[in-house]
Structure 1
Amino acid sequence: MRAIGVEQRRARLARRHLLLPGTRTDDVAALADALVALHSSDPVTVYLSALARMAHPCLAAVDAALYEQRSVVRHHAVRRTLWVATPEVVRELHGAATLALVTPERRRTAGYLAVSGVERPEAWLGAAAEQVVADLRAHGPSTARELGERIPALRQPIVVGGPRWGATQSAHTRVLLGLGFAGVLLRTRPVGSWVSGAYRYALAEDWLPGGLGDLDPRTARAALARRHLERFGPVSTDDLRWWTGWTAAATRAALADVGAQEVALATGPAWMAAGDVAEVEDPGPWVAALPSLDPTTMGWKERAWYLPQSAEQAFDTNGNAGPTLWVDGRVVGAWAQAPDGRMLTHWFEAVPAARRAELDDRLAVLAAAVGETRYSVRFPGREHPRILAGRAEGADQDG
């Protein structure tokens, strides 16, 4: 069994995740594909993850890929998270993860409707879904508010979350979520700028020729496992199970279906794509400034090989990564955009001045691409508020 060391893992990460100057690309679809998909729980992440890997960082190019060329699309997938990926990958994600959510989520919504006094909740839900589809066919992409104005049923108040901790919301939230899980709807261009999460909804078959297809779940899981191994391997079984949200049995079956090759890490056995165990060349020195929830930072459950203990404050208590600064395959710092647009930095360990200057240059590139736009981070690390307040030990207010 081949042994894979930490330095080889970092070399693979740098090259395959397009973090070296020579690997950067302005092809947003290729960029997303190199990471399997881009996190979109925070709309800002999609753009900043792309900018960090583009040869000529440009917000308009990301917009064009999303909403004009539609070479990448947004969809709920693994771990119930919003992702942006190429149509081919989105179809695999849908079959591999999203379809499994349809029945339990519909049952949950019907339960909320029943508790809220709606008679025959399943029939009510089916009728509401039909009205949404008919309305979008007539009017095209629309916001939840616009749909609610035209479809009275979507304004039905329902109690969600149970009798003790329940909250009242309009039914449109659950109806649109369910239609998204079913692959009927996709989230498209938002109202406002690129930092907005107030998306317009469109029929998947109208937005994407052929819609999301009907890929068999086992076939889809195998395809997704292969992609993940090629981009993130070596990964442990736990890494893959965590990233996908699959059961242990489904994870083992997917690894077997793709003929994954077992290798040895210092922490135990892991898997690589078949035929992909050849040594990857040392990339030399490199740096990266990555946003909150970047796919690289969030690519593995076991992170000690790139996340030293000193840098754990870059994550929140739920394991979500805030914005991070990388040197040669390790997280060494965190960063934040100040209200006045400055890029503030914090170092978790001593970093040579020359490497800090390289990271300042990368942050300057991001700042120039973002321009006058100010944004908040929806999933900040624990250090993030202190950086913004100027209280982080080792913070650099001139970053």
Structure 2
Amino acid sequence: MQGSKVRISAGQRRARLGLRHRLAVKAATPEEVAASVVALHGTDPSTVFLSAGARLTSPGPEPVERAIYDERTLVRMTGMRRTVFAVPAELVPVVHWSTMAPVARRERRTLLKTFGAGGWDEARVAAAEAAVLRALAEHGEADAARLGTLVPELREQVVVAAGKPYEALVSLGSRLLPLLAMDGLLVRGRRAAGTWVSGRHLWGLAPELPLLAAPEARAELARRWLAAFGPATEADLKWWTGWTLTETRAALSAVGAVEVDLDEGPGLALPDDLEEVPEPEPWAALLPALDPTPMGWQARDWYLTPGHRAELFDRNGNIGPTVWWDGRVAGGWAQRPDGEIVWRLFADVGAEGRAAVEAEAAGLAAWLGGIRVTPRFRTPLERELSAP
């Protein structure tokens, strides 16, 4: 990670964010959108559609559904930080081998510990897994309920957190099906019911994954992340990926990351990405909860005033819906029960900024139609604004 100490200002970082994340210059397809931010955050199903819509020249659910369900150019999978993402199809092996293999091993140990008291050892779990794969091969895609009928073992339950306020009954299927996906054997398929905000989906057999060495996969993921989010810090990449510090440093070294000076201190960039980029025209955006742009860095002071974090984040670090003006978080927004889009700005953005935010809100309301979106993880400002 050697190189000259080029200085890259916070203003330059905001210019790169606007251009590279397709917020200042819109994209034509959901695939372009996903590639611009490496992958679209998908823990909340609506985030994929809202994040894409904020960046598309012609927003709406149809092109996103086509990419995910028909063309399979975007694949919903568990990835960085054990989080679900919509990943460009060509990047699936990279995400799997760079992040998922060790997570899957930990999850398997947890499953065996959780269900061990009920007689579930490795052999019995393996038999249930084989039964799931046979059922899907014979019957095609199925949701969790249907698979529970085809493979009754999936319906077996155990108590977790016994005696605690959050004590719950969990089924084997609720843990085993996601684990099979983490192992690269299952893939999340079409929506099982409801509209595009629904989290119910079908499970299907995954295509065979090409084998990649973990260091090679980590290097490629680091390269793509730096191209989209750089310059940034070692700590940012470690947090975003969930890697160890050793893995993070090795990946950065493999891509030849060079040290640069940021307003906050030392940072890293790709060796061919040290020149200044042009300042885009001022832009506005309404980004959804868990959007990949604000979730792309651990250190956010260069685009988010620290004093507003408590309003925009929940206790677990999940960000709510944000209003952006010219590269900064300028406020938050929400949708009321009647569908109205409402927002609050933290500071005066001027007549141009307010008009741009109003236009974005009107555009969002238009393509949402009658769909009501409530974030899975509620934040203080979103709750306040959405109240009738």
TM-score normalised by length of structure 2? 0.95
Name the CA distance, whole Å, in 1 between partners of 2:169 and 2:131.
22
Structure 2 residue 353 is the aligned partner of structure 1 residue 351: no
Aligned CA distance change for structure 1 residues 212 and 369 (closer, same or farther; 3 Å): farther
Matching residue of 2:16: 12
Residues 23-102 of structure 1 mapped to structure 2, 5 A cutoff:
23-102=25-104
Name the CA distance, whole Å, in 1 between partners of 2:169 and 2:377.
25
- 3-state secondary structure, aligned to 1:383: helix
162-171 vs 211-220, greater mean Cα deviation: 162-171
Structure 1's consecutive aligned runs of 4 or more residues displaced over 4 angstroms after TM superposition are: 161-166
**Pick aligned residue for 2:368 from 367, 370, 378:** 370
Name the CA distance, whole Å, in 2 between partners of 1:162 and 1:185.
31
Name the CA distance, whole Å, in 2 between partners of 1:380 and 1:90.
29
Matching residue of 1:360: 358
Check conservation: 1:315, 1:322, Cα contact below 8 A. Answer: yes
Structure 2 residue 259 is the aligned partner of structure 1 residue 257: no
Matching residue of 1:394: none
- 3-state secondary structure, aligned to 2:298: coil
Check conservation: 1:230, 1:273, Cα contact below 8 A. Answer: yes
Matching residue of 2:107: 105
Aligned CA distance change for structure 1 residues 227 and 133 (closer, same or farther; 3 Å): same
Matching residue of 1:395: none
Residues 195-210 of structure 1 mapped to structure 2, 5 A cutoff:
195-205=197-207
Residues 156-305 of structure 1 mapped to structure 2, 5 A cutoff:
156-161=156-161, 166-191=167-192, 192-205=194-207, 211-305=208-302
- 3-state secondary structure, aligned to 2:329: strand
Check conservation: 2:186, 2:204, Cα contact below 8 A. Answer: yes
Residues 130-169 of structure 1 mapped to structure 2, 5 A cutoff:
130-161=130-161, 166-169=167-170
Name the CA distance, whole Å, in 2 between partners of 1:42 and 1:94.
20
Check conservation: 2:336, 2:387, Cα contact below 8 A. Answer: no
Cα-Cα RMSD: 1.3
Matching residue of 1:114: 116
| Structure 2 runs not aligned, ≥5 long | none
268-277 vs 8-17, greater mean Cα deviation: 268-277
Determine what percentage of the aligned residue pairs are the same residue: 42
Check conservation: 2:314, 2:380, Cα contact below 8 A. Answer: yes
Matching residue of 1:125: 125
| Structure 1 runs not aligned, ≥5 long | 206-210, 391-399
Check conservation: 2:335, 2:385, Cα contact below 8 A. Answer: no
Alignment size in residue pairs: 381
What's the CA shift string for 1:218-271, capped at 9, x where partnerless?
111000000000000011000000000000000000000110111011211111
26-35 vs 131-140, greater mean Cα deviation: 26-35
- The one-letter amino acid paired with 1:90 is V
**Pick aligned residue for 1:323 from 321, 324, 345:** 321
Name the CA distance, whole Å, in 1 between partners of 2:349 and 2:256.
41
- The one-letter amino acid paired with 1:64 is R
Deviation for aligned residue 1:311: 2.6
Name the CA distance, whole Å, in 1 between partners of 2:362 and 2:190.
27
What's the CA shift string for 1:290-313, capped at 9, x where partnerless?
111111111100000000124321
Name the CA distance, whole Å, in 2 between partners of 1:281 and 1:359.
23
- 3-state secondary structure, aligned to 2:189: strand
TM-score normalised by length of structure 1? 0.93
Check conservation: 2:181, 2:187, Cα contact below 8 A. Answer: yes
Name the CA distance, whole Å, in 2 between partners of 1:215 and 1:231.
22
Name the CA distance, whole Å, in 2 between partners of 1:360 and 1:311.
21
Deviation for aligned residue 1:161: 4.4
- 3-state secondary structure, aligned to 1:293: coil
- The one-letter amino acid paired with 2:23 is L
What's the CA shift string for 1:86-131, capped at 9, x where partnerless?
112121111110111122211111111212x21x511110000000
- The one-letter amino acid paired with 2:126 is G
